[in-house]
Structure 1
Amino acid sequence: MVAALLIGFFIFAGLYADVLWFDQLGFQQVLFTQWGAGVALFAAGFFGMAIPVFVSIYLAYRFRPVYARPAAQLDRYQQVIEPLRRLAAIGIPIVVGLFAGVSAATRWQTALLYFNSTPTGETDPQFGLDISFYLFDLPFIHGVVGFASAIVLLAGLIGLATTYLYGAIRVAGREVRFAKAARVQLGITAAVYVALQAVSIWLDQYVTLSTAGTLITGASYTDVFAVIPGRQIVAGVAVIVALLFLFAAITGRWRFPVIGTALLIVVSLLIGSVAPWVVQRFTVAPSELSVERPYIQRNIDMTREAYGVADIEEVPYEATSETTPGALRQDAETTANIRILDPAVVSPTFGQLQRFKQYYTFNDTLDVDRYEVDGQTTDTVVAVRELNQAGLGDSQTWYNRTVVYTHGYGLVAAYGNQRSADGQPKFVESDIPTTGALGEFEPRVYFGENSPGYSIVGAPAGTDPIELDYPSNGGEGDSGIYTTFSGDAGPSLGNWFNKLIYALKFQSEQIFLSDAVNSESQILYDRDPRERVQKVAPYLTLDSDAYPTVVDGRLKWVVDGFTTSSSYPYSKVQSLGDAIADSYTPSPNFAIDDVNYIRNSVKATVDAYDGSVELYVWDENDPVILSWEKVFPTSLKPMSEMSGELMSHVRYPQDLFKVQRAILGTYHVTDAGSWYQADDAWRTPADPTAPATSDVLQPPYYLTMQVPGSDAPTYSLYSTYIPRQNNAGGQSVLTGYLAVDSDAGATAGERAEGYGKLRLLELPKDDTVPGPGQVQNTFNSNAQVATELNILERGGSEVVRGNLLTLPVGGGLLYVQPVYVQSSGETKLPLLRRVLVSFGDRVAFEDTLDSALDELFGGDSGADAGDTAVPNEGAEPGTGTDTGTDTGTDGGTETGGDGTAVSADLRQALADANQALQDRAAAYAENDLVAAAEADARLQAALEKAIAAGG
């Protein structure tokens, strides 16, 4: 009894903690609705299973033949079971009812969508039913029929066993004799079960519209002319067999239902298997394209609609490979915004320059956002300085981890298109306390992607603060600035009962005993932004990347939420995890992985200071989110309540774009014949900067650019395509360029007209424009580039190649790749040293993007790239950006005309390089990163002089 009470109290503690958490956040309705639906379905499942099983056992025993003499073996079984009969008669229904109830309770989302379904106004091309029938009704009805079948089958089997045990069924040789009561019970049970199978088979004809076949998803020619009519016929036969079982229950003539059941099996085999095979083999196979054409077209049209790509704008792009002076003049604004800072490379640099203390950290892959700086919208690489308690070392006491080190501090942002003189990021917002161009905002980060499991914050007014806010700039010993949390972010620990509840939840007696827990204390947990959104909106599939942004004086995380389904008729089913995985994102584990419908229906924000969650309906035409809005009317807000500043920072989600690019690899083809022949199927190229053995996909990139076919530059997300039939070692020519307008504008509650516009640049099939893999191979094999990279790797350094960007400018495709140099030792500080560019078959490798473009386009690119904001970017006085090396197509070099002078210059340059190497080694030994960076800059300049002098 004591053990049961303890278990019960632990369960209560968990439930009560959930009530406190949801109540504090203002989403208690979500919890209670979910619980209410779960309890209702559990009750329906429990009683729906337990009562029929109990009735079956009761009737079998109640109407047993009292004076029948059972076989000796059965007599022994009765003697064993009889003392436990009452317990079994009640216990068996309860046990199977519990399993059924738990199974039913997990289907609460399907049930709520069914009872709150929203019509779409669109019909399927086969049966003419509203699409909502497939999204909401069919899954629920099919589930109910399947559950009812399981109930009847289990109740029938248990009833059969009971009647046999008590002699109502006797087997004498080849003859089976039934008592009248047993005959009626089993006959009715069998009739109900077969009738349910008839309903299930009838419903199966609709399931064919979302079933993946060998050619398409959806009903093909064979399905339409053999499978669907066959299932209708089999369902009709099953109804007749059910009536025969009722007839047998009344008359005792089992011959008819037995013959009917055998006939049903034969008909099912002939009509369900043989007939479709005959149609496929002798009608479809000889002329597959001609007979399947209309069904392929259905699949194309419905797939494009289900994935939101039906209105994509396809733009023929006759890409040139010729470089001419001034070719980029028309794309000057695009080239000025080329992002040379790679968010996947510079996290260690942010860490070395902006972490300040070992208990702070930045994510491995940073985010890209845009801000208005000096009146101009600028792409930035952003990161949140979060808490890393592992950096506390031996100071990881419960007190420090829970009540002192409670939060991170500040957002760091760097220009995407600029760098400092020594290759470091040029920051827009940085340092502690936070300073920069983003204005005043609350910098404390109590809720983030790396926040502790739980923290306890808050204290009565007038008490000394104990939460470390940030380290001070000087002083010995205790040199931190402290604060007291003043928001409303977590359940209260102001009474002993709540303390006890959370002491049990987190298995820490300190929560109950510590004097640091006071009347104003709050406990913060479930602090990851995606986790918080998922708990208050369990019906959403979330984008794998939550990104931070400064909005309305607050630091907020933005999370994109999707509604999905796998029941959309005629739409291709694909794995969500496989479509999203790339070199930035490992394959995620989704609760529902196979989907054939997706919409970005919700934009969510999580305040980094107080953890408050806001959910905004983003796609007001999505029937799924409209149905959930009926279920949770108070948790979802209309888009009209979004501020203009928030609108300016939302973006087109990467995961949705990845799913769409996977679909468009095949479904950019809209002609059924061409689609069938797969003569123009594409795929996303592998990431050329990843290890060759990984074969992970290249991620899409955010850039501000003007895509051909658009009127002006806009914040965009893009990816590229190569032919699908190419393997990793084959030729990877570029076939397509997919981009989407990701700028929602800055008007409160009103989305910009162009947002979400997909454009597909289709390159000529008779030309060979190099793809990312080919360009990367060209960079790696270019003799001049290889020589300079070898020089950069000397002295304990290693070269890191940044993201390979592709831009449709100058009438062709421009490739840009930043090149970083970092120490090969323990301390990593990637510094942006050079820029690789390619256009057609020409390559340039220079200090700056400007000089590389000028080199590529004959000294007059017509472009003004953003990295010119820092003159010469680390070049020594007098060297400028011209190293004296001509990286033209012939790969040759030009040296000075005076051999003696050159030798003297070379000797001096080498001496300077040697001194810089020594200085850098000494700086790293003393952990003086600033001096190391300065020595690195001098080493780079000296090596460039050596190259120029030595030819």
Structure 2
Amino acid sequence: MSELFDEESREAPPPRGSRRSRALIITAIVLVLAFLGLSTFASLYTDRLWYKAGGYSGVFTTLFWTRTGLFLVFGAVMGLVVGLNIYLAFRFRPFFRPNSPEQTGLDRYRDAVTPIRTWLLVGISVVLGAFAGSSAIGEWRSYLLWRNGGSFGQRDEWFDKDIGFYVFDLPWLHYLIDYSMAVLVVALIAAVVVHYLYGGIRLQTSRDRLSGAAQVQISVLLGLFVLVKAADYWLDRFDLVTRSGSLVTGMNYTGHNAILPSKNILLGIAVICAVLFFVNVWRRTWLLPSVGLALLAVSAILLGLIWPGIVQQFQVKPSEADKEAPYIDANIKATREAYAIDDDNVEVTEYTKKAESTDATADAFASLLGQTSSAPLVDPQLVRQTFEQQQQARVYYSVADVLDVDRYTIDDTERALVLGVRELDQDKINTGDKNWSNLHTVYTHGNGVIAAYANQRPADNGPEKTDIQWAEGIQNNSQRTLSEAVGDYETRVYFGEQSPDYSIVGKAAPSDPSVELDLSVGGEAADTGSADAPSDAPTDSPSETPSDAPTDSASETPSVAPEDTTGNTDAEDRTTTYDGKGGVHIGGFFNKLMYAVKFGEPNFLLSERVNENSQVLYNRNPRDRVEKFAPWLTIDGDAYPVIVDGRILWVLDGYTATDRYPNSQRESFETMTDDSLQDKTGLRTLPTDEVNYMRNAVKATVDAYDGTVTLYEWDEEDPILKAWESAFPGTVQPRSDIPEDLLSHLRYPQDLFKAQRYQYARYHVTDPGDFYQGNDRWEVPEDPNSRGSFLQPPYRLFVNQAAADGAQRNVWSLTTDFVPYGKSNLAAFVSVDSDATDPENYGKFRVLEIQNAQTNGPSLIASEFAGNQDVRNALLPFQQGGNPPLYGNLLTIPVEGGLIYVEPVYAQRTGSTGGYPILQYVLVSYGDQVGIGQTLREALADALGVENANVTPGGNNGGGNGKGGGKGGGGEPQGTISQQIAVLLAKAEASFEAADQAQRAGNTVRWAQLMDRGKDFVSQAVELADQLPESPPAGEGGQGGQPTEPAQPSGSPEPTESPSPSS
């Protein structure tokens, strides 16, 4: 090497800076490199510990070696090829250069480069290799899919290739081609520069502008480049079936008849051009290669751009519908298959009648009430403040912005519940208590689940009216029927959507006092291993004085709850010590140092709270944990909590997706899932953002206490999932391992349904001619309650369906509406079966398609509600008081007689602890009539024009499937006789007040109706009063307005009085 790089002259080196300056520069460079190296090593080392602690060390190993291998291989190839070409250009430089102004001007650059050319060669090769290797790291997904991918078992109709070729092989082959072209271009540029610098290329001479060595090297590089371009043309042919066109994605007439032939022609020209460049090595003339290169360029313009444009304009446009028909048909079939909305998964029922509310009878009222009593009136978007104000327990706890809806079997009845997890919110801790010790060792976790019945209201709200019937709470005399149904469970929440970035848990010795602040319920401490009171906790302060809780200073105390003015609570402050396995054991000094570097926090080395038994909990958001353990999945935006086997589990849906499915319609994932809840549910976009194939491949759970992540196979036939299982063996558990209790809480995923409904709006049409015309195109309606043009989100509720034997059954479903494109009337109602315990029907789309009937859509119904005089009169006091009503979810519910719209109306209440919305009215639209009432029963009776008699609801019960349970009825009061009397008298008073308002507004008809209703309530109260014993036993009426009779669903026999479950 030294012989080949002998210097041309031994000129004196240029002057150098002082030794001190050089030493300072070298020292600074060494320190920077040392810091970067230590940070990188700390990150890798702690990641390895974290993956190992989570039980997924194999994922870390596979990712590490795959990325490292790609970096080294592709970086080395780039560095070696470029370095070799630089070396060859210098090695075969001309030793005699004719004297010219050009060469004289280059002498100073040669003089500067020559002394450092070896270092320059190495530096350029290393830097370019590092860039190329870093780029290759990002292709680990493509590489692993190419290596582990298999067959889809289906072939495309244009090239007769298995779909697996497009999904698994083609992306990686494209990367190899693009990488090869980049390497050759960089090598060509480097060779040209060196040849020009050392006289191998002379631009200012009339002849012999290139030396023989320069001509050979440049010809070979250009020939290789054009040959690789020929391979690129060959691959581009297959991209035609995934190409986004103006009409549809995939092959079209122009692509098939113009672009495809042009690619084949260009491929041949490129091969010929490459041969000419290789021949130029011996012929030493640039005429033929130049002609070939010019021919390739002109052909690319004529055949690749102009010809397809001419075909499109003069052949396709005049009869586009006929020309594109076979290609549209292929697109329709592929799209419906790729999004699982084909005939195998969709059941269409025509709806040809319109609901009629005239001539209603008591039997019809009872039937409709039974079919609608499961309508959820507790809106998960609006009651967050109510949950926090009434069940927060401590100021530093909070719940999610949008609560979750799930179903539980309570008293043998499947009930829909609105749930939130009481999570730690460190932003609400008093400012004086926000020190490192408190934030990372004291305030470490949340506590428990809050739940309310979705379709039930309490019998007596008392002075603090909430209109929430709690199924799980610890304040306001709440029942804990959910805990009684599922059994005791671990309430501490260390892993949640709002968990701190990291916490340090564990104590040095079992005898040491606990320091983590916790709640105990009902006087029983949580599973702590220590029942220390907060005052026993140590501090990190030099003057360690006991206080109300552990702090860093004797004068600092952690936040505690204010005086409970909203109702009694069984919760007490305790301290606890985490004894789970979800963290990384810090161990000795080296691990402490690594985590101090990782988090940039010296207290890992200095604080006494960090000991050999300590664990550090981080990466605590459920979505983040699943994404790290399964980085090849895209996680649904809505993680929801369930209580299973004594634990709170976060359940998440994982998707496999691609944008390379042949002929399937490609669309932005963000566009397809956009609705009024997008910002609040934490939408996660896919790596490519655009997709044309999706499967709910995996169901994942995250234990809220110890962070254990379990991945269960869900779509056992998905080829993409099989490829990832081959790449990461043992990561995904078989579907048969899903516990039965967990299976009952699995549901159809929200983001997948949004993507499917977006595509189904166009692809419910299967005739290519009708599809092209677009006359029957649908769209998701706008949310009438959103501020701005946001689409209505899907809703989870029980939907009445006819069973095989003709009987009606309530099915847990995810639902949406469709309206004709650009219009407001209803086009279809769609529900998808969401009951995972019924594998035969799970994921089945049931489309109620409106035919020959003008049925109002959500926006028209909202306008109908707003324009109804009775509704306006009822809501007028709230609007005049500067407290405008809040409209809840506008629900569409199919019934035997047609469709019913139900919408709850809330008003903001200002209480002693803050404001929160309470349910005031229920609005109903059935046929041409609008009804309003304080309960669904009243609103439905008002719409039907019948008396609100004490009829037994017909049809299936509103709570779900089973017997017993709560009296749904959209919130019909229940309780002891005394409680029922109190509720009836309160309703009578409200009716009389509303009657006075109607009279002042001049609405005498409404005044008469309200007066009669109020009198009916008084009569019913008098009848019940006659049943009271002369001396009612002590305690009659229950505690705090809670019912003392077991809750009974609509349509079930009323039970005899019995004590209610204790709080």
TM-score above 0.5, yes or no: yes
Alpha-carbon distance in structure 2 between the residues aligned to 1:702 and 1:225: 48
Q: Which residue of 2 aligns with 1:62?
A: 91
CA displacement, residues 280-308 of structure 1 (integer Å, 9 cap, x when unaligned): 12221111111110000001110111111
Q: Which residue of 1 aligns with 2:306?
A: 274
* AA partner of residue 416 (structure 1): A
Find the partner of 1:91 among 109, 117, 123: 123
- Cα separation, partners in 2 of 1:874 and 1:307, compared to 1, 3 Å: farther
Gaps of 5+ in 1: 727-731, 746-750, 907-929, 932-951
Opposite residue 364 of structure 1, the aligned amino acid is: D
Residue 17 of structure 1 pairs with residue 46 of structure 2: yes
* Contact 1:847/1:881 (<8 A) preserved: no
Q: Following the alignment from structure 1 to structure 2, what is the Cα–Cα distance between the partners of residues 670 and 80?
A: 71
Letter in 2 for 1:202: W
Structure 1 residue 461: Cα displacement: 2.2
Change (3 A) 1:464 1:334: farther
Shift of 1:840: 2.3
Partner SS, residue 170 of structure 1: coil
Contact 1:797 1:824 survives alignment (8 Å): no
Counterpart of 1:714, as a letter, is V
Q: CA deviation at 1:36?
A: 0.7
Match of 1:594 in 2: 690
Q: Is the 8 A contact 1:327 1:857 kept in 2?
A: no
1:670 is the counterpart of 2:762: no
2:827 is equivalent to residue 735 of structure 1 = yes
Secondary structure in 1 aligned to 2:375?
coil
Q: Distance in 2 between matches of 1:891 and 1:676?
A: 53
Distance verdict in 2 for CA 1:897–1:292, change over 3 Å: closer
Q: Does 1:360 align with 2:397?
A: yes
Partner Cα distance (2:942, 2:694) in 1: 45
3-state SS, counterpart of residue 809 of structure 2: coil
Aligned residue for 2:796, secondary structure, equals strand
Match of 1:401 among 439, 451, 460: 439
Q: 1:551 aligned to 2:659? A: no
Residue 264 of structure 2, aligned match among 232, 255, 258:
232
After TM superposition, the structure 1 = structure 2 runs for residues 434-453 of structure 1, keeping only pairs within 5 Å, are 435-453=483-501
Structure 1 pair 181–82 and aligned structure 2 pair: CA distance change class (3 A): same
Is 1:877 aligned to residue 980 of structure 2? Answer: no
Is 1:123 the equivalent of 2:119? no
Which amino acid in the other structure matches residue 146 of structure 2?
Y
Counterpart mapping for 1:850-861 below 5 A = 850-859=937-946
Q: C-alpha separation between the residues in 2 aligned to 1:898 and 1:102?
A: 75
Give the aligned partner of residue 792 of structure 2: 698
Equivalent residue for 2:813?
A: 716
- Asked if the contact 2:474/2:521 (under 8 Å) is kept, the reply is no
Q: 1:414 aligns with which of 448, 452, 460?
A: 452
Q: Distance in 2 between matches of 1:417 and 1:857?
A: 21
Mark the CA change 1:779 to 1:595 in structure 2 (over 3 Å): closer, same or farther.
same
Alpha-carbon displacement from aligned partner over 1:85-135 (angstroms, at most 9, x marks no partner):
222222111111111110011111110100000210001111110001110
Whether the 8 Å CA contact 1:793–1:821 is kept in 2: the answer is: no
1:40-59 to 2 correspondences below 5 Å:
40-59=69-88
In structure 2, relative to structure 1, the CA distance for the partners of 1:465 and 1:227 (3 Å cut) is same
- Seen in structure 2, the aligned counterparts of structure 1 residues 509 and 319 have a Cα distance that, compared at 3 Å, is farther
Secondary structure at 2:758's aligned position in 1? helix
Q: For the Cα contact (< 8 Å) 1:349–1:424, is it kept in 2?
A: no
What is the alpha-carbon distance in structure 2 between the residues aligned to residue 297 and residue 373 of structure 1? 49
Deviations 1:733-778 (A, max 9, x none): 0101111000001xxxxx62111111222111x4321000011111
Alignment partner, residue 909 of structure 2: 823
Distance in 2 of aligned mates of 1:159 and 1:878: 92
Instruction: Kindly indicate whether the alpha-carbon contact (under 8 Å) linking 1:366 and 1:382 is maintained by their aligned counterparts in 2.
Output: yes
Give per-residue Cα distances to partners, 1:343-366, cap 9 Å, x unaligned: 111111111110011011111110
Write the distance in 1 (CA, Å) between the matches of 2:80 and 2:32. Answer: 30
1:466–1:645 distance in 2 versus 1, CA, 3 Å: same
How far has the Cα of 1:172 moved from its partner? Answer: 4.9
Match of 2:354 among 320, 330, 334: 320
Evaluate the alpha carbon distance shift between residue 397 and residue 473 of structure 1 in structure 2; reply closer, same or farther with a 3 A threshold: farther
Q: How does 1:264-303 map to 2 (within 5 A)?
A: 264-303=296-335
How far did residue 261 of structure 1 move?
A: 1.0
Deviation at 1:579, TM superposition (A): 1.6
Contact between 2:858 and 2:890, CA under 8 Å: does it hold in 1? Answer: yes
2: CA distance, partners of 1:804 / 1:257: 71
Distance 1:143 1:553 in 2: 49
CA gap of 1:135–1:896, structure 2 versus 1, over 3 A, is closer
Instruction: Report the alpha carbon displacement of residue 200 of structure 1 after superposing the two structures with TM.
Output: 0.4
Contact 1:447 1:528 in 2 (8 A): yes
Quick one: distance in 1 between partners of 2:351 and 2:606? Answer: 70
Return the letter of the residue paired with 2:435: T
Alignment of 1:356-505 (within 5 A): 356-393=393-430, 394-420=432-458, 421-422=460-461, 423-431=466-474, 435-459=483-507, 460-470=509-519, 480-505=573-598
Q: Aligned AA for 2:80?
A: I
Equivalent residue number for residue 522 of structure 1 = 615
Q: Specify every segment of 5 or more residues in structure 2 that has no aligned partner in the other structure, as ranges.
A: 1-29, 524-532, 536-547, 550-571, 948-952, 959-967, 975-979, 1019-1039, 1042-1063
- State the alpha-carbon separation in 2 of the partners of residues 227 and 662 from structure 1: 30
Alpha-carbon contact 1:796-1:823 (below 8 Å) kept: no
Q: Tell me if 1:220 matches 2:220.
A: no
Q: Is the Cα–Cα contact under 8 Å of residues 378 and 454 in structure 2 kept in the other structure?
A: yes
Distance 1:331 1:598 in 2: 38
Q: Distance in 1 between matches of 2:183 and 2:1010?
A: 97
Give matches, 1:623-642, under 5 Å: 623-642=719-738
Instruction: Tell me which of 763, 779, 784 is aligned to 2:850.
Output: 763
- With 704-713 and 292-301 compared, the bigger mean Cα shift is at 704-713
Partners in 1 of 2:1009 and 2:247 — Cα distance?
69
Tell me the equivalent position of 2:282. Answer: 250
Question: Could you tell me the TM-score, scaled by structure 1's length?
Answer: 0.90
What is the root-mean-square deviation in Å for CA atoms of aligned residues?
2.8
| Cα shift at 1:224 | 0.3
Between Structure 1 and Structure 2, how many residues are aligned?
Answer: 892
Deviation at 1:63, TM superposition (A): 1.2
Distance in 2 between the 1:161 and 1:173 partners? 17
SS of aligned partner of 1:637:
coil
User: How far apart are residue 458 of structure 1 and its match?
Assistant: 1.7
Is contact 1:319-1:769 (8 Å) kept? no
Partner Cα separation in structure 1 for residue 987 and residue 392 of structure 2: 34
Offset at residue 501 of structure 1 (A): 1.5
DSSP-derived class of the 1:418 partner: coil
Paired residues of 2:816 and 2:831 also in contact (CA < 8 A): yes
- Deviation by residue 1:24-77 (Cα, 9 ceiling, x = unmatched): 001111111111111111112211111110111111111112123363223333
Where 2:815 maps in the other structure, the secondary structure is strand
* Post-superposition CA distance 1:136-183 (Å, at most 9, x none): 100000110010001011101111121122122233555453222222
Taking structure 1 as reference, are residues 648 and 64 closer, same or farther at Cα in structure 2, changes over 3 Å only? Answer: same
1:756 alignment partner, SS class: coil
Q: Distance in 1 between matches of 2:629 and 2:289?
A: 53
For the structure 1 residues 163 and 894, does the alpha-carbon distance in structure 2 shift closer, same or farther, using more than 3 Å as the test? Answer: closer
Q: Deviation per CA, 1:567-592: give whole Å up to 9, x if none.
A: 11111111111221211122655432
SS at match of 1:829: strand
- CA change 1:873–1:396 in 2 (3 A) is farther
The answer to whether the 8 A contact 1:419-1:832 is kept is: no
Give the 3-state SS of the residue equivalent to 2:71 in structure 1: helix
Distance 1:879 1:107, change over 3 A: closer
Superposed counterparts of 1:739-754, under 5 Å: 739-745=831-837, 752-754=839-841
2:1037 matched residue in structure 1: none
Rounded to whole Å, the distance in 2 between the matches of 1:897 and 1:121 is 67
Q: Deviations over 1:407-457 (max 9, x none)?
A: 111111111110113342111122179754332111110100011111111
Cross-structure match for 2:1044? none
The alpha-carbon deviation at position 875 of structure 1 amounts to 4.0
Partner Cα separation in structure 2 for residue 487 and residue 869 of structure 1: 44
Which stretch of the first structure deviates more once superposed, 81-90 or 174-183? Answer: 174-183
Segment of structure 1 superposing worse, 232-241 or 266-275: 266-275
Whole-angstrom distance in 1 between the partners of 2:920 and 2:1009: 28
Deviations 1:643-699 (A, max 9, x none): 0011100100000000001101111111100000000111111111112xx111111
